[in-house]
Amino acid sequence: MSFDDDVLVEGGLAEADPQLSLAEGKDAELTFIFGKGVPAHFKFVAGVDEVGRGPLAGPVVAGAVVFKRGYRNPRIKDSKQLTAEDREELVHVIKRAALGWAVAAVGPRRIDIINIREASRLAMLLALRKIASDVVLVDGNVPLKTRMPQRTVIGGDRRHVQISAASIIAKVWRDSLMRTLDAKYPGYGFCEHFGYGTPEHQDALRRLGPCRIHRRTFRGIREYFGFTEDAPPDLQTTLLPL
């Protein structure tokens, strides 16, 4: 399959490699999943979380992780409280301990069409489809449209190891992807700011203009296309390649 598809789902891989994935097709339209499945009869608790809602470029990514009930590891906590080195190390710890894990990414064109809130929820739902669990803990206060029993938890990435682990694998996966995209779209500094609207990123936009992976409906990008809050973009226009 190709990332020309508006929605692309893949699974069953033991490891997710963004570089291999991107080699297959277009990165601006991708929606895809990688993960490790688990037997449906296990008794376990899942956590799901997303990263990348705020950046001006790149996908929003969700992680889902399943542990045996009662699993504890004090090193696994909110990904924002960890250094990049700690996160990289903990990904391997998490995947060894987990009964199942999955990562799902929804790209900028889909974000432009359905909005970032719905794209984040879609990414979490896609990740959940790759795992089996008795219950899932969802970070935030908005339930997901899933038949899996769930509990929403405000600040869940600081309270539950399952959600913390999900945020870590999603963050590491997305950062790796943005480093790959930095080589494909040089000059923007994606390997440094990962798509967030830093002063350096804004300077690059003024010099280069937006590229394919920028979110064209986001403030700071939409102005380059003549979009305003009073004049929202034509959704068909947002799909056109640069």
Whichever domain contains 136, its CATH number is 3.30.420.10
Q: Quick one: which of 219, 216, 223, 220 has its CA closest to 203?
A: 220
Collapsing DSSP to helix, strand or coil, 106 comes out as strand
Domain termination site, one of 167, 183, 199 = 183
Question: Does residue 169 register a pLDDT over 80?
Answer: yes
pLDDT recorded at residue 100: 93
**In terms of domains, do 203 and 162 share one?**
no
**In terms of domains, do 48 and 144 share one?**
yes
Phi-psi category of residue 39: left, alpha or beta, with phi > 0 → left and psi -120 to 50 → alpha? beta
* 3 in any annotated domain: no
**In terms of domains, do 195 and 137 share one?**
no
* 219 in any annotated domain: yes
Name the residue range of residue 102's domain.
18-183
The whole-angstrom separation of Cα 104 and Cα 34 is: 7
* 149 in any annotated domain: yes
Number of domains in the chain: 2
| pLDDT tens by residue, 50-69 | 999 999 999 999 999 999 88
The secondary element (H helix, E strand) that includes residue 61 is strand 60-68
Domain termination site, one of 163, 183, 203 = 183
| Angle formed by the axes of helices 161-184 and 84-97, nearest 10° | 120
Neighbours of 4 (CB within 10 A): 11
Structure tokens at 131: 């795992």
* 170 in any annotated domain: yes
Neighbours of 219 (CB within 10 A): 12
**In terms of domains, do 194 and 74 share one?**
no
pLDDT recorded at residue 134: 86
- What secondary structure, in 3-state letters, does 129-160 show? CCCCCCEEEEECCCCCCCCCCEEEECCHHHCC
**In terms of domains, do 43 and 86 share one?**
yes
**In terms of domains, do 179 and 193 share one?**
no
pTM score over 0.85: no
The whole-angstrom separation of Cα 36 and Cα 169 is: 13
**In terms of domains, do 176 and 205 share one?**
no
Q: What is the pLDDT of the chain when averaged over all its residues?
A: 82
* 2 in any annotated domain: no
* 224 in any annotated domain: yes
* 6 in any annotated domain: no
Q: What average pLDDT does this structure show over 38-43?
A: 55
Query: In which band, very low, low, confident or very high, does the pLDDT at 9 lie, cut at 50, 70 and 90?
Result: very low
**In terms of domains, do 212 and 141 share one?**
no
| pLDDT tens by residue, 207-234 | 999 999 999 999 999 999 887 765 555 6
pLDDT recorded at residue 1: 27
* 10 in any annotated domain: no
Asked if 217 contacts 229 with a C-beta cutoff of 8 angstroms, the reply is no
Question: Does residue 95 register a pLDDT over 80?
Answer: yes
pLDDT recorded at residue 43: 80
Q: Quick one: which of 132, 73, 72 has its CA closest to 100?
A: 132
**In terms of domains, do 73 and 120 share one?**
yes
Q: Quick one: which of 239, 226, 221, 229 has its CA closest to 56?
A: 221
**In terms of domains, do 133 and 194 share one?**
no
Domain termination site, one of 148, 166, 183 = 183
**In terms of domains, do 36 and 102 share one?**
yes
The whole-angstrom separation of Cα 116 and Cα 146 is: 19
**In terms of domains, do 24 and 40 share one?**
yes
Q: Quick one: which of 141, 165, 174 has its CA closest to 55?
A: 174
